[in-house]
Amino acid sequence: MSKIIGVIGAGTMGSGIAQVAAQCGHSVYLMDANVEQLERAKNGVSTSLEKLVEKGKFTVEQKSSIESNIHYVGQLEGLSTCQLIIEAIVEKMEVKHSVFSSLEKIVSDDCILASNTSSLSIASIGSSLTKADRVIGIHFFNPATIMPLVEIIPAVQTSEATINEAVSLIQSWGKTVVLCKDTPGFIVNRVARPFYGEALRIYEEGLADFATIDWAMTHFGGFKMGPFTLMDYIGNDVNYAVTESVFQAFYYDPRFKPSFTQKRHSEAGFYGRKTGRGFYQYAEGTETIEATKDEIIGKIIFERVLVMLINEAADAVFMQVASVKDVDLAMTKGVNYPKGLLAWADELGLDWVLDKLNELFDEYGEDRYRPNALLKRMVKKGDKFYS
């Protein structure tokens, strides 16, 4: 049965989610208090669908039908008939509390209320509701129309019925769904931290420059982008803010410690592509920095970042954030990693991974390099993540 879907926030993410739901035949109400933003969203959806028509994915008639599925509303009251509402607004808890509390007075008792937050506690969002068993995290990746992954995050208050309904619905939209515990960063933003953090640490130690580290990760690892190119693409303001919030949320665990290099780039306004300068220069006529393609140094860099990523993935399984399969799915479908990290660990040998981590831990004596207990247990038993 086709549900009536509500989306709050007509920014890039909100309008993308609305388009996905409309393409699947749902009647969608996209709400934003800013009339100009709604107009931009309407034009954005039209342009996006136009490209799909050009690619032969939809006919002109289908485009018109999808567009007619989306209703643009300026007030929360316009969402009163919705059966599932996804909030995609500013990442500020007090704003979300206010919106969810107001929503509850408008919608029916069985309407599911979801947040697209990438890092905030779903349990805390649900605390503003009288009937909190209907709250859930439904986290899409940008752009929502293209990225296949959706993390679904039940809060401690969420009912089984809400979980099942959300999973079933999002899967029917053709998305790859992973279930994860309501912990900071969920799967992707938690497990991916060393990709940025360890690369920055390697730079700060003077082992290699930005271009060389990027080359090492793409050349040896097959990653589509190196960490510094990717941080410039995401925006250093955004990436740094996520790192800082994850660090704070984990009670300042040194594994997630932010970098002064990125903080200073962010403070200077060197956000990346969007400002014309980040770790690299993007203005016309500026010289491209060439990587030092030293195979020995490159391999050291790649292996160091990779074992840190594997250690974090193992920790997500150890702390029951998600299953082995869902952790690997999240990293391949959510951030385009060339392989699932735990499958990669099996391939390299868990004893090899543990040896590398022990070397780093012995050398630095820092908690950020401590090998995960699950990894140690598995090596002792001769186990693999995939039997």
Quote the pLDDT of residue 377. Answer: 98
One domain for residues 33 and 99:
yes
Query: Exactly one of 27, 48, 118, 236 is catalytic; which is it?
Result: 118
When the pLDDT of each residue in the chain is averaged and rounded to a whole number, the result is 96
Quote the pLDDT of residue 314. Answer: 98
Q: What contacts 75, CB < 8 A, 6 or more positions away?
A: 31, 33
Mean pLDDT of 288-307: 96
CATH label of the domain that carries residue 10: 3.40.50.720
Name the H helices within the chain. Answer: 12-23, 35-54, 60-69, 93-104, 122-126, 160-172, 188-191, 193-204, 210-219, 227-234, 236-249, 260-267, 295-318, 324-334, 341-348, 350-364, 373-381
Q: Give the whole-number percent of the chain exceeding pLDDT 90.
A: 96
Q: What is the pLDDT of residues 165-211, one digit of tens each?
A: 999 999 999 999 999 999 999 999 999 999 999 999 999 999 999 99
The domain boundary residue, chosen from 118, 145, 179? 179
Quote the pLDDT of residue 387. Answer: 86
User: Is the pLDDT confidence value at 1 over 70?
Assistant: no
Query: Exactly one of 189, 259, 266, 372 is catalytic; which is it?
Result: 189
**What does the buried/exposed string (b/e) look like for 57-68 if buried means 16 or more CB atoms within 10 Å of the residue's CB?**
ebeeeebeebee
| Cα–Cα distance measured from residue 151 to residue 333, given in angstroms and rounded to the nearest whole number | 11
Quote the pLDDT of residue 59. Answer: 96
How is residue 286 annotated by DSSP? P
Mean pLDDT of 119-143: 96
Quote the pLDDT of residue 368. Answer: 96
Higher pLDDT, 296 or 238: 296
Among this protein's residues, is 189 annotated catalytic? yes
Among this protein's residues, is 151 annotated catalytic? yes
The domain boundary residue, chosen from 140, 160, 179? 179
**What does the buried/exposed string (b/e) look like for 246-271 if buried means 16 or more CB atoms within 10 Å of the residue's CB?**
bbebbeeeebbbbbebbeebbeeebb
Q: What is the pLDDT of residues 113-126, one digit of tens each?
A: 999 999 899 999 99
- Three state DSSP letters for 302-328: HHHHHHHHHHHHHHHHHCCCCCHHHHH
Mean pLDDT of 128-138: 97
One domain for residues 32 and 148:
yes
Q: What is the pLDDT of residues 25-81, one digit of tens each?
A: 999 999 999 999 999 999 999 999 999 999 999 999 999 999 999 999 999 999 999
Give the distance from CA 379 to its chain's centroid: 30
CATH label of the domain that carries residue 297: 1.10.1040.50
386 falls within a domain:
no
Among this protein's residues, is 139 annotated catalytic? yes
Query: Exactly one of 48, 139, 265, 372 is catalytic; which is it?
Result: 139
| Cα–Cα distance measured from residue 14 to residue 274, given in angstroms and rounded to the nearest whole number | 20
If one counts the domains in the chain, the total is 2
Query: Exactly one of 104, 151, 165, 198 is catalytic; which is it?
Result: 151
Q: Which domain holds residue 216?
A: 190-381
257 falls within a domain:
yes
